[in-house]
Amino acid sequence: MNDLIIQNIKQLVLPKSTERPLKGAELDELTIVENGTVVVKDGKVVYSGPYTKDYEATEVIDASHHVVSPALVDAHTHLVHGGSREHEMSLKRQGLSYLEILERGGGILSTVEATRTATEDELFAKAEHDLLTMIHHGVLAVESKSGYGLDKDNELKQLHVSRRLQEKYGIDMRHTFLGPHAVPKEATSNEAFLQQMIDLLPDVKELADFADIFCETGVFTIEESRRYMQAAKDQGFRVKIHADEIDPLGGLGLAIDEAAISADHLVAASDEDKAKLADSDTVAVLLPGTTFYLGKNDYADARGMLENNGAIAIATDFNPGSCVTNNLQMVMAIAALKLKLSPNEVWNAVTVNAAKAIDVDAGTINEGDKANIVIWHAPNHEYIPYHYGINHVDTVIHEGRVIVKRDLTLK
């Protein structure tokens, strides 16, 4: 006897299982099954495909008029942080840029101060609420970065919180050490601070899966980023990079040269670097919610990356300053509208390719996969990025067990 059958599914969304990320035209390949069935036993998918009566289970969910898909994967978040920065919205309205706000002691540095001041339990309570919001919006795999401590004790504090969240809720999480996220006020120089972060790599090795760096004007150069990435690889880390967000410094090309698992942001990536994606499995993680929130007109060139046979994923970049949303569904809509992605491309970019960007077993619900599944209150898979800004989740299933069932009735 099986544990669960989801039956009469109006549309079943089935990204393909693959050893490497989907590249170029592959991103538009997505199996959509009308009138589908999913069967689950012991937390794993036994069957997913067209309607069948060949299985029995102790629990049956009737998904008539609903879409069923793999749970979403958010491949770039700054989940653990102290404080908030709503006061900066007035500065943005006055036309100040991100870097200008940073120069005034705002931006990252104000969040660093709030994170350093907060206790581990205070950070945990705040991040727990935000993580639960993600889960209620259909996300069951999350990458969580440090980077608001900028010293040993507080970077470790952030990573401890991230690990505690995974232990409590059991969802798929990856933890990223982003010590060189900004240069703190007390640093004597960029070079001296970067060396401190390199020296910290052995201490964070038991807590972090990846090492990341912010390569941008006013933060860390290409040469400094290369030095850090190579030191991290020497310590056994896989590497990531915040690259080419504002200026075309060549961060995407560096990521490809260093075999980074992902390069993120990439709004200003050069045509030369985009062409290199064809020969690389580095995933370009695009964050259109950030461009939207910062009020900019130029979005990352997703179509150009795909035309160069590159692999792309979409993520929220949830953080307190430049993308204050943990609703990946909203970002799916922005990706469709502003990155000119098809519905199939959007779905693959937040499932299978997002999973490849953080090396997690997620994003598909084919036979043998973990039964991390979302039932959506929607008539078809195109509807979810179309009807934007709300939560379309009906049910969230974690390893075969219903953990979220939304009730829209009034009490």
Domains present along the chain, CATH in parentheses: 2-70+363-405 (2.30.40.10), 72-357 (3.20.20.140)
Q: CA 411 to CA 407: how far, in whole Å?
A: 10
- Residues at the binding site for Zn(2+) are 76, 78, 242, 317
User: In 3D, which of 55, 83, 66 has the Cα closest to residue 11?
Assistant: 66
- Return per-residue pLDDT of the chain as tens, 411 residues: 789 999 999 999 999 999 999 999 999 999 999 999 999 999 999 999 999 999 999 999 999 999 999 999 999 999 999 999 998 888 878 888 767 887 776 788 899 999 999 999 999 999 999 999 999 999 999 999 999 999 999 999 999 999 999 999 999 999 999 999 999 999 999 999 999 999 999 999 999 999 999 999 989 999 999 999 999 999 999 999 999 999 999 999 999 999 999 999 999 999 999 999 999 999 999 999 999 998 899 999 999 999 999 999 999 999 999 999 999 999 999 999 999 999 999 999 999 999 999 999 999 999 999 999 999 999 999 999 999 999 999 999 999 999 999 988 888
Q: Could you list the residues known to form a binding site for N-formimidoyl-L-glutamate, using ranges.
A: 148, 319, 321
* CA angle (137, 57, 404) in 5-degree steps: 15
Which ranges of 118-270 would DSSP assign to H, the alpha helix? 120-136, 152-169, 190-204, 222-234, 251-257
Asked if 165 contacts 130 with a C-beta cutoff of 8 angstroms, the reply is: no
Q: Do residues 365 and 371 lie in contact, with contact meaning Cβ atoms separated by under 8 Å? A: yes
Whole-number pLDDT of residue 93: 80
Q: Which residues are annotated as a binding site?
A: 76, 78, 85, 148, 181, 242, 245, 317, 319, 321-322
Residue ranges of the annotated binding site for Fe(3+) are: 76, 78, 242, 317
